[in-house]
Amino acid sequence: MSSLQNRQFKLTSRPVGLVKRSDFEFATSPAPQPGPGEVLVKVLYLSLDPAMRGWMNEGRSYVPPVGLGEVMRAGGVGRVIVSNDPALAVGDYVVGITGVQDYAVAKAGAFTRVDPRLAPLPRYLGALGMPGMTAYFGLLDICDPKPGETVVVSGAAGAVGALVGQIAKIKGCRVVGIAGGPDKCRYLTEELGFDAEIDYKSEDVPKALRQHCPKGIDVYFDNVGGEILEAALAQLVLKARVSLCGAISQYNNIEGIQGPRNYLSLLINRARMEGFIVFDYAARFPEGVKAIAGWLAEGKLKAREDIVEGLETFPETLLKLYSGENFGKLVIKVADE
């Protein structure tokens, strides 16, 4: 096994604003040997997530920051090629935190087996992975949408947003998606069945929200923060629920985060804004996976991945998230299955 060469992206400086290639060291070294109870996994696909930007910052958050000199944290799907634990066999496909590298070593229990016959492997990083669980629990558990209610979701063509909107449709809601550009917007209404779409790159979002939500907004699922959050808060109805999933518009702000200047809309409307972290629902992931897999199988839910080839593209591919260039769940293909 010593002949296996492991390419790794190690974080070497804390990015200021947008991530740069020079914030990482991209080096090759021999793949590590798994110890007792450990497995060696060959990484096939890596998940690129908006939250990665936050993991690179110092300071308190819901997970510790990636340390300087450490391999950049990432979820991935791979194949077990050495196993020192009977729980996993060579040839098994698994999902887990692999890091941005070709080979990952960890305790067998750190990985979950997945079945490539039930779904394409990248989907375990999307609809059947963290984005799916995020959409499922962040919408249903935090917002409890009722049939007939108006649900607005931002980042609506992204990995989480597209699922949020579709799940809200399944629950009988009127769904308005906010996304950037005509292709993504068309996708929301024509492919995913959203009731209306708003192109934040070309439309006046406050005006479009008033138009498409004539009765106001009952549920707002926020992936983006900034001015779109403010526009949504301005249209809340009584007892509205706002789910704070992310704030991708703000992650690369050098001047600091923009707070919602109209947060008192929560007071006037007796509304609620609540944050959540998907990992808190780990014990209920089987419920979420079962529901989403069922809807996928019935054709009620569509999943889409945006696959970029090559581990070496990591820094530039990650930037696609923040410029809004990705279309569906953004994944790097590291190696052939």
* Contact residues: its own copies, CB under 8 A: 60-62, 225, 230, 244-247, 250, 256-277, 280
Q: Please identify, using beta-carbon distances, which residue of 108 and 232 lies nearer to its own copies.
A: 232
Identify the DSSP state of 64.
P
Q: Please identify, using beta-carbon distances, which residue of 78 and 260 lies nearer to its own copies.
A: 260
Cβ of residue 301: shortest distance to its own copies, in angstroms?
A: 25
Burial environment of residue 9 by CB neighbours within 10 A (0 to 12, 13 to 18, 19 or more): buried
Cβ of residue 206: shortest distance to its own copies, in angstroms?
A: 14
For the chain, give the number of residues: 337
Q: Please identify, using beta-carbon distances, which residue of 235 and 317 lies nearer to its own copies.
A: 235
Q: Please identify, using beta-carbon distances, which residue of 162 and 273 lies nearer to its own copies.
A: 273
Cβ of residue 258: shortest distance to its own copies, in angstroms?
A: 7
Residue 148 C-alpha from the chain's centroid? 27
Cβ of residue 219: shortest distance to its own copies, in angstroms?
A: 15
Cβ of residue 176: shortest distance to its own copies, in angstroms?
A: 21
Alpha helices in the chain (DSSP H): 52-55, 130-143, 159-170, 182-186, 205-212, 226-233, 265-268, 285-297, 314-323
Q: Please identify, using beta-carbon distances, which residue of 128 and 160 lies nearer to its own copies.
A: 160
Integer Cα distance of 65 and 226 in angstroms: 24
Q: Please identify, using beta-carbon distances, which residue of 89 and 257 lies nearer to its own copies.
A: 257
Cβ of residue 322: shortest distance to its own copies, in angstroms?
A: 16
Instruction: Count Cβ atoms below 10 Å from residue 39 Cβ, excluding itself.
Output: 27
Q: Please identify, using beta-carbon distances, which residue of 280 and 316 lies nearer to its own copies.
A: 280
Integer Cα distance of 153 and 151 in angstroms: 7
Stretch (H or E) spanning 63:
none
Integer Cα distance of 143 and 245 in angstroms: 12
Q: 5-11 and 236-244: which strand pairing?
A: unpaired
Cβ of residue 253: shortest distance to its own copies, in angstroms?
A: 10
Phi, psi torsion values for 312, nearest 5 degrees: -65, -15
Q: For tokens 């998230």, what's the residue?
A: 321
Identify the DSSP state of 310.
-
Q: Please identify, using beta-carbon distances, which residue of 14 and 261 lies nearer to its own copies.
A: 261
Are 332 and 325 a contacting pair, CB within 8 Å?
A: no
Cβ of residue 259: shortest distance to its own copies, in angstroms?
A: 3
3-state DSSP assignment of residue 20: coil
Cβ of residue 127: shortest distance to its own copies, in angstroms?
A: 22
Instruction: Count Cβ atoms below 10 Å from residue 58 Cβ, excluding itself.
Output: 11
Q: Please identify, using beta-carbon distances, which residue of 77 and 142 lies nearer to its own copies.
A: 142
